[in-house]
A and B are shown apart, each in its own frame.
Chain A
């Protein structure tokens, strides 16, 4: 009963309900406007909602997150530009549909299916999180450490081409997180004797720099790009269409939740895997895949929205984010004095259920806004970049300044912005940096706890890993990721699968 009340908190306060709505609405457009991304929006917003109460701040950010994941599909369909990584797969069949003049139908189906996938994701979150957090209480410090390493590695290896660059980015993030005085011994780390660095580097400055400034700087290069106009007709899909794709959407939603729940993998991987699944199970599509098959649209869209609920599971129960956006959400929770992890579920179950409620509400708003207001939508998306880019930069500065009222943070943000700009150009993923910054403290604390409890004995530490099934699985996974990068793996793969794959 209390749980139900906590879920319904959103509805008891009109202000919260409104904020979720505004957030979702803004999220859809942010996700859809080329040049703006959810990651950027949430990282800038953290600093603006800094002085707010917890509940309104979370309401707004949950809305933006949910809306943004969905919004990215719009531009994927209309312009062949995925507004977010999770919409990459959507473009494969969505754009061909739009070219055939069925943009409205494609958007309609996407909206309903996103709602459906989102709903399943949230339900699984609500059912699974309490169990996972109970299970997480049995985790040893070394398990947390291994999970953190695994998360960073997975983001590095799956979100981009080069794992080595991903590893570098992750390690770089951990190093940034370590700057300042060590909380346990008060020793100075990476401060280079600068007084300014003793307090550490504000992770918000890093986030805004990496996802706001570097993105805006990069967009300067395509400032004169014209946006393409598409005609959109009827969008609300017929009941028959929905019913036809229901079985497929159930399967792909499950894929989405599971992939989303793995630390380090988020909506983008989920969508690609679901697309692949749809291709395999659909024996006779009405239209071939890649040329506008409805199945190719339903699968990734259900999966990436289902992954939102999934991604919240490790984030809320273990404090380990699944991707860059959830890493930023964790940062937001930190700032409001919440500490995601198994204790959150025990100390403040209301907070967890409130977030579930907010997600549910955002999902409903997404359906409503998705099926209406299509005319305004096309107008807003056509906003010229010469206006958007300066505004992003201005907001980034205000955001970085606002958290600590310090100019130093603005310069940090600028520095990381320029650095991130080069990283983008040379193919270094930025997600692992943020994950590293967020997880640095957790990694450090748990490593030290683990090794102290084993009396500084590496032998005993490894004995502990080998004798615990959970630690062993995590450890082997970490090793596997490394091995997959060495020539040894390629040789092994060729021997094992050589004949099948040629």
Chain B
């Protein structure tokens, strides 16, 4: 195994930590676009950082933001130029390897989760999300997805609501009353 090898997470069964993917000698689909985007965004940040306090003093609140955004602009530019020179990876497409439909769908799920969390409450939203996700990913029956969602949600709720005492939006479910029943049950009063 090459010590420089840091994992190619897309085409083998690799777990990753903070390991970046990508190839050293080749350019993946969209990589150049990303680098250009970073350069432009960094330029925007640099402009914004200049607006904080300009070149007033070395100790002004804007000096570190200006320095960091300048570093960002330069490094992003270097990356963009280097990337542009590399040959493209053969056989990879943006829709297949970088941004498959499944990822887009899940990002959509998560956005929806955020929208529904407050009005609907944690339990119904999480249940909907889990059922949809399990069904979509496992490709097994609805019964399977429903059972798995129910079991895992119950465990999560017990662990986090009771053990970690995390406050979650109750929404339409009368959660507090339910916990009270639960507590009474355990203290022998129920």
Chain A residues within an 8 Å CB radius of B45: 175, 190
Chain A residues within an 8 Å CB radius of B63: 447-448
How far is B64's CA from A163's CA once the two chains are assembled, in angstroms? 21
Q: Is B43 an interface residue (CB 8 A)?
A: no
**Could you tell me which residues of chain A, from 202 to 234, have a CB within 8 Å of some CB in chain B?**
211, 213, 215, 217-218, 220-223, 225, 227
Minimum distance in angstroms from B54 CB to a CB of chain A: 11
Asked whether B21 lies within 8 Å of A427 as measured between CB atoms, the reply is yes
How far is B4's CA from A133's CA once the two chains are assembled, in angstroms? 35
Cβ-neighbour of B9 out of A51, A192, A411, A424 (below 8 A): A424
Cβ-neighbour of A402 out of B1, B57, B102, B167 (below 8 A): B167
How far is B57's CA from A189's CA once the two chains are assembled, in angstroms? 16
Cβ-neighbour of B138 out of A51, A290, A384 (below 8 A): A384
Most chain A beta-carbon contacts within 10 A, residue among B23, B59, B69, B109: B59
CB contact under 8 A between A187 and B103, given known A171-B72, A225-B13, A405-B167: no
How far is B102's CA from A162's CA once the two chains are assembled, in angstroms? 29
Minimum distance in angstroms from B88 CB to a CB of chain A: 13
22 contacts between A and B (CB under 8 A): A83-B15, A160-B20, A164-B75, A168-B76, A171-B71, A175-B68, A189-B49, A190-B48, A215-B16, A217-B106, A276-B3, A390-B133, A393-B109, A394-B129, A397-B110, A414-B114, A422-B98, A424-B21, A426-B28, A427-B21, A456-B57, A456-B59
Asked whether A221 lies within 8 Å of B10 as measured between CB atoms, the reply is yes
- Which of A34-42, A118-126, A307-315, A339-347 lines the interface with chain B? A34-42
Chain A residues within an 8 Å CB radius of B10: 218, 221-222, 425
How far is B107's CA from A36's CA once the two chains are assembled, in angstroms? 19
CB contact under 8 A between A187 and B114, given known A91-B1, A171-B69: no
Minimum distance in angstroms from B94 CB to a CB of chain A: 10
CB contact under 8 A between A398 and B160, given known A168-B75, A175-B65: yes
Asked whether B13 lies within 8 Å of A81 as measured between CB atoms, the reply is yes
Q: Is A452 an interface residue (CB 8 A)?
A: yes
Cβ-neighbour of B20 out of A35, A75, A391, A424 (below 8 A): A424
Asked whether B71 lies within 8 Å of A167 as measured between CB atoms, the reply is yes
Chain A residues within an 8 Å CB radius of B59: 447-448, 451-452, 456
Minimum distance in angstroms from A205 CB to a CB of chain B: 12
Q: Is B121 an interface residue (CB 8 A)?
A: no
Chain A residues within an 8 Å CB radius of B72: 168, 171-172, 175
Q: Is B120 an interface residue (CB 8 A)?
A: no
Cβ-neighbour of B100 out of A88, A220, A414 (below 8 A): A220
Asked whether B148 lies within 8 Å of A387 as measured between CB atoms, the reply is yes
- Which of A177-185, A257-265, A355-363 lines the interface with chain B? A177-185
Q: Is B113 an interface residue (CB 8 A)?
A: yes
Q: Is B58 an interface residue (CB 8 A)?
A: yes
CB contact under 8 A between A165 and B20, given known A190-B45, A452-B59, A456-B59: yes
Chain B residues within an 8 Å CB radius of A37: 15-17
CB contact under 8 A between A386 and B19, given known A424-B9, A447-B63: no
A449's closest neighbor in chain B, by CB? Answer: B59
Residue-wise interface mask of A (421-458) relative to B, using a CB-CB cutoff of 8 A (1 in contact, 0 not): 11111111111000000001001100110011000101
Q: Is B118 an interface residue (CB 8 A)?
A: yes
Asked whether A85 lies within 8 Å of B19 as measured between CB atoms, the reply is yes
Chain A residues within an 8 Å CB radius of B30: 422, 426
CB contact under 8 A between A443 and B64, given known A165-B79, A175-B69, A426-B31: yes
How far is B20's CA from A363's CA once the two chains are assembled, in angstroms? 29
Most chain B beta-carbon contacts within 10 A, residue among A92, A275, A398: A398
CB contact under 8 A between A39 and B110, given known A165-B75, A398-B168: no
What's the tally of chain A residues with a CB closer than 8 Å to chain B?
102
Asked whether B13 lies within 8 Å of A164 as measured between CB atoms, the reply is no
Q: Is B130 an interface residue (CB 8 A)?
A: yes
Asked whether B28 lies within 8 Å of A161 as measured between CB atoms, the reply is no
Residue-wise interface mask of A (309-333) relative to B, using a CB-CB cutoff of 8 A (1 in contact, 0 not): 0000000000000011000000000
Minimum distance in angstroms from A124 CB to a CB of chain B: 24
| Count of A-B contacts judged by CB separation below 8 Å | 248
CB contact under 8 A between A394 and B20, given known A81-B14, A168-B75: no
Asked whether A51 lies within 8 Å of B18 as measured between CB atoms, the reply is no
Asked whether B18 lies within 8 Å of A187 as measured between CB atoms, the reply is no
Residue-wise interface mask of B (62-85) relative to A, using a CB-CB cutoff of 8 A (1 in contact, 0 not): 111100110110011011001000
Q: Name 16 extra pairs, CB < 8 A, besides A190-B45, A213-B110, A402-B166.
A: A49-B164, A88-B3, A164-B82, A168-B75, A168-B76, A174-B68, A187-B53, A188-B52, A221-B10, A290-B1, A397-B110, A405-B167, A410-B114, A422-B34, A426-B30, A427-B24
Asked whether A431 lies within 8 Å of B18 as measured between CB atoms, the reply is yes
A485's closest neighbor in chain B, by CB? Answer: B78
B110's closest neighbor in chain A, by CB? Answer: A414
Q: Is A103 an interface residue (CB 8 A)?
A: no
Q: Is B117 an interface residue (CB 8 A)?
A: yes
Asked whether B114 lies within 8 Å of A167 as measured between CB atoms, the reply is no
Residue-wise interface mask of A (69-92) relative to B, using a CB-CB cutoff of 8 A (1 in contact, 0 not): 000000100010111110011011
CB contact under 8 A between A220 and B20, given known A178-B64, A397-B113: no
**Could you tell me which residues of chain B, from 89 to 131, have a CB within 8 Å of some CB in chain A?**
97-98, 100, 102-103, 106-107, 109-111, 113-114, 117-118, 122, 126, 129-130
Chain A residues within an 8 Å CB radius of B69: 171, 175
CB contact under 8 A between A401 and B14, given known A51-B165, A188-B52: no
Q: Is A54 an interface residue (CB 8 A)?
A: no
Q: Is A159 an interface residue (CB 8 A)?
A: yes
Residue-wise interface mask of A (407-422) relative to B, using a CB-CB cutoff of 8 A (1 in contact, 0 not): 1001100100110011
Minimum distance in angstroms from A182 CB to a CB of chain B: 4
